[in-house]
Structure formats: structure tokens, C-alpha cells
Amino acid sequence: MNEHHRVEENYDAEKIQVLEGLEAVRKRPGMYIATTSSQGLHHLVYEIVDNAIDEALAGFCDRITVEILPGDVIRVTDNGRGIPTGVHPKMGISTLEVVFTVLHAGGKFGGGGYKVAGGLHGVGASVVNALSEYLRVRVCNEGKVHEMAFARGAVTQPMTVTGDTDLTGTTVEFKPDGEIFDELEYDYETLLTRMREQAFLNAGVTIVLRDAREGREREETLCYEGGIRQFVEYINRNKTPVHEDIIYFSAAREGSEAEVAIQYNDGYNEMVLSFANNINTPEGGMHETGLKTALTRAINDYARKYKMLKDDDKNLTGDDVREGITCVVSVKLEEAQFEGQTKTKLGNAFMRTMVDNMVYDNLSAYLEENPTVAKAITEKTLAAARAREAARKAREATRRKSALDSASMPGKLADCQERDPALTEIYIVEGDSAGGSAKNGRDRRYQAILPLWGKMLNVEKARIDKIFGNEKLMPMVTAFGAGIGEEFDISKLRYGKIILMADADVDGSHIRTLLLTFFYRYMRPLIEEGHVYIAQPPLYKVAPRGRNQEPRYAYNDRQLAALLQEFPGADVQRYKGLGEMSPQQLWETTMDPETRTILRVNVEDAMRIDQTLTILMGEKVEPRREFIEQNARDVVNLDV
């Protein structure tokens, strides 16, 4: 057997594997992307953009353009070296083809650069290709334009040279497959949040986001020379800082980098965002632990040295020194290990030491050199310690009466029979009538129902601390069983899934905003560890004419249009609220795990919601005015 023949045989074998591989992605997309909901749809874009960002990190690309084209087609373009088009030494086909047809090819093929893992990131362009109705790629390198096309992962046009060029770069255009995804419409704001985050994390890289869909044209150019410093500035933009200067440190050693930016504001919220290889790590991990211990130690040492803490005072706690902090920590490392419930916790132990040393040494020096800032921060943390002590005393005094400690569950809770939180879920339902339908429609073995509020709370007008101090939220806290704030203990959580079920209208949206902000501020691990979901009740019931025709349900206007095409002249009922549905209908459309869609809330969602609430309820007039002007349509609704 000659050499040439052997390569060909290998190639055939590889090729068969490749086809099986991508077929597997289509058969079980859930194994490769977290969901086939709207979230999964957006993840496709992140995956492609991540590849372009890797090229920027390698130092060969400084501009990435992301476009939403008519028909919700995505186009991503970079000005890098272009994906290599030569024959791949192991596979015997072009590297370009390998990238799009071999599972897990991402990052490995070029050598050099680091491979990143965690979530979808790094699973490669082949997954996006497998889940796209079509995908076209154009590579400019070595003086030529190369083009290639695929449909649902299979090659429809082999790599062809289509022209000459002096430029280099890669363009990928794809249309997500309607057979796979429940939802095909891209949300500009969701992409904008992610692209902005990536622009902050990769200082100097320009990311252009453009919406080219008819009637929705808009464009943003994101480029932050200041990197994560500007990220912190951005998060604090509607808050009042305690010190002007953004504290920033960085360190590099043996293929690893770490950087941190810090600014305190006069609020009480702790906002520590951590990233590893540009991937958000809401479960924290070694880099975050290193940061937190160093911060606590440096501030305690400073406060002791300058007698702001007296000899018999207790040390400031981690919560004290993080009250009002906004902090971004970003690390880059080879072979990052992601652990935890949602694989978003960094496990590499050396990172704890690296970040701890960097923060402790630099922050100690910074505090010595900047006494005004040091005093402002230390005063703030001492005030937090005093407030914590006062709150603890008050709590102890009322301990017996506290609903938190009461073993009895709230009267309105319709609990489930199962006790294992891995199997249970609780629906938080707006209003008593919807609560009634949910109670009768549920599977009582593992689904609990807690109705909240007979009537709507005016979120906009009430003060936020009043709402959170509000007795109305206490039954929910009791039902969850895990406490609140500093005392929150997720290991005591009584339900694995917390599902918010409110109407698809403005009041429902208020309730979701309020509850998510409450969880985000006082029970954040609930969101970080992925326990919080939003139920998706249908907006319409479509009753086809004719006997034996089951009613169909539409969850958005696109689905309604499709159903009306299928069943012309059908009766359409628009649901004004959950209360209009019978228990059976509510079960079938919204609560049955076999058929329902529930959206998991991630930290980015919650952060955005928290910001919205801060703007709407905060004391700063200017951001509120701007927000209202920019969102005029929504805010008209807010006054309903």
C-alpha cells in the first residue's frame, strides 16, 4: 500500500467519523449547547466571536464586526490572518474544512494560543455549523479569497478560490436551524451586553455590533483602551463613587495573566465579577477566592496599622470590606479547569496564590500611597461592620418571632410531597386566581406553588428598601428555607428550581424585575448556581375549526403567524393573564416538564435587571431621565 493510498483511506475513515460527529450534535444538541432556547441561539454568536477574539489575543486582529442581517442571519467578520486554508497534516483535508466539520477542533488546530474550556466556549465552529440551516465562510489569506459553504453541517460547496485580495481576515455567515431552535429571533440588547463585556475584557479590540434588520437599524462601536478599568467605571456609571480613582493591578507569569480593577460606591451592593479566559465565572473559584482573601487582609492590616481598628475590635469580615464594591477580576491561563454546578468555577489552585499575592502586595502599597482613598474605603468598611453588628443584635432580640426561624411553612404555600431538592420545584405565582389554577394543575408530587400578592405592588413608586423589608416577601423566604443576605445558606434550599410564573404583561414584568433584583441582591447564589427560572406561558390559544382538533398555543407572534397559516380561520384567544387558563391548560402549556419551556436566569440577566431597577428607583435624576427618554415606549407602560 503506497503512502498516498494510506492517507486516502485514513481520510475516508476520518470523514465518516466527522459525519457521525455532526449528526450527533443535531440529534442531541443539548449535549453541546446548554439549551435550544433563545439562550442557545445567542450562544452560537458568542462561539463564533470567541474564535475571532482568540485571533485578537494572539495579536493578529483588532477589529470584529457582528451583524444581524434580515432574516436573523448572523455575519461575523474579523481582520485577522484568516483561518488556514492549506491541507491539514493529520486530516488530509483543508484546515478550514476541519474547523467546521470536526467536533472539538476549536483552538487545537493552529498550535499556539491557549485552549479554553467551559460552557460552550471552545467546542468549536463545527457545532455552530451543525446547528445552522446554512453556513458560509470566506477567508482572505495568501493573496486569495477562499469560499466554502455548508448546510446543517454537510459541505454544499467545497473550498473554492473565488478571487484575489491584498487583505486578510475571516467572515462567517450563518442562519440558525429552525428545526433545532425554538426561537430564531436575535435580541440586539442581549448581544450588545455580551459584546460590550468582551470589549472590556480585551482592551483595544474594536467590536462593531450592527442590526441590519428592517426597521430596527442601529449600530454600536465598542472599544475600550482602558479595559476592565472602564468596565468598573461603566458598572458604576449611575452610582456615586466613594473615590474617583479606579484602582488597577495586573501581573503576568509563565503563560498566565491576572488583572483586577476596583472602585467603591456609596451603595451597599457587592458586585464582584470574575472571568477566566474571558468566560464569566459566576460560581467564582480560585481567582475570586485569592482576590477576596487579599482584599480582606490588606484592609484589616491598614485599619490596624492606623488605629482605625482598636486592639480589642474584631477584624472586618469579607462582607464588610466588600460592601459597595465594584470589582472586576480577569485571568488568562493555559488549561483552565472549570468546575461546579454550571461549570463556571475556576479550579486551578495556583491562581489563588497568584491573585492573592498580586492584590495584597499592590493594594497595601496603594493604600499607603493614597491616604485619602484609603481613609474613604476604610471608613466605609467600618460603617458596614457597625451596621452588621447592630443588625445582628436586632435580629437576636426578635429571633423568636422571626418568620425566618419558624419551622412552620407559610399558609399560602401548597407544598409538594417530595423532600429531595434535586427533584423539587416551586412556582412563584402572581395573584390568587392564577395560584388556584396552578395548585390544581400541578404535579403535587414534586411541584410546590406559592401565590404572591393579591394585587400588584407599585414597584416604581415604593422605595426599594421598603419593598425588601416588606412582609410580603417573607413567606417566600421561609418557603425557600435558606435564609437571606449574609445568613443565606444554599445547602438548606428546599427546592432545586425556583420558577417565576407571572403574566406576560407589564405588571408581570414588574414582578419579575422586583423578584430577580431581590434574589440578585439578597440570595445571589440562587442565580449564580442556576436555580432561578422564568416560566413561559403562551400568549395565544389557537382553536382550529373542525372536530377532533386539539387547541394549539403560540408563545410569540411568530408562532401565532405560523399557526394561522396552518389553520386559516382558526379562533384566536389572546390570554390577558394566567388566571384565564384552566388548571389543565396551565399544566400542558407552562408547567409540564415534558412540554414546557423555562428560561434559566443567568447573572448577566440579573445584573441588567438590577441596573434597570437602580436607575428607575435611584436618587440620581440624570440617568433616570436618560433612561426614560431612551425607553420612552416601555416607560409609558410603567405608569399603567
Q: Which chain residues interact with ligand TSJ by CB under 6 A?
A: 48, 51-52, 55, 76, 78, 80-81, 83-84, 99, 110, 112, 125, 170, 172
* 3-state per-residue secondary structure call for 238-280: CCCECCCCCEEEEEEECCEEEEEEEEEECCCCCEEEEEECCEE
- The residue (of 89 and 568) whose beta carbon lies closer to ligand TSJ is 89
Return the active site residues. 430, 503, 505, 507
Least separation, in Å, of the C-beta of 93 and ligand TSJ? 15
- State the alpha helices, DSSP H only, in 555-602: 557-566, 583-586
Q: What residue type is 107 in one-letter code? A: G
- The residue (of 77 and 478) whose beta carbon lies closer to ligand TSJ is 77
- The residue (of 51 and 589) whose beta carbon lies closer to ligand TSJ is 51
Strand partners, 325: 264
Rounded to 5°, the CA angle 418-421-425 comes to 75
Phi, psi angles (nearest 5°) of residue 79: -110, 40
- Picking from 270, 269, 268, 272, the residue whose alpha carbon sits closest to that of residue 290 is 272
- The residue (of 62 and 505) whose beta carbon lies closer to ligand TSJ is 62
DSSP state of 587: I
Least separation, in Å, of the C-beta of 112 and ligand TSJ? 6
Report the C-alpha gap between 486 and 530 in whole angstroms. 19
Least separation, in Å, of the C-beta of 30 and ligand TSJ? 21
Report the C-alpha gap between 184 and 178 in whole angstroms. 7
20: cell is 457521525
- The residue (of 137 and 328) whose beta carbon lies closer to ligand TSJ is 137
- The residue (of 58 and 635) whose beta carbon lies closer to ligand TSJ is 58
Least separation, in Å, of the C-beta of 81 and ligand TSJ? 4
Within 8 A by CB and 6+ apart from 468, the residues are 518, 521, 522
Rounded to 5°, the CA angle 268-259-362 comes to 80
- State the alpha helices, DSSP H only, in 275-338: 286-305, 318-321
Least separation, in Å, of the C-beta of 51 and ligand TSJ? 3
User: By the 8 A CB rule, do 213 and 72 touch?
Assistant: yes
User: By the 8 A CB rule, do 583 and 437 touch?
Assistant: yes
Least separation, in Å, of the C-beta of 78 and ligand TSJ? 5
Least separation, in Å, of the C-beta of 116 and ligand TSJ? 13
Least separation, in Å, of the C-beta of 200 and ligand TSJ? 20
- The residue (of 83 and 102) whose beta carbon lies closer to ligand TSJ is 83
Angle between the 603-617 and 188-201 helix axes, to the nearest 10 degrees? 100
610: cell is 438590577
Report the C-alpha gap between 505 and 493 in whole angstroms. 30
| Coil vs helix vs strand at 631 | coil
- The residue (of 334 and 634) whose beta carbon lies closer to ligand TSJ is 334
CB burial of 249-287 (b: ≥16 within 10 Å; e: otherwise) equals: bebeeeebebbbbbbbbebebbbbbbbbbbbbbbbbbbb
User: By the 8 A CB rule, do 68 and 56 touch?
Assistant: no
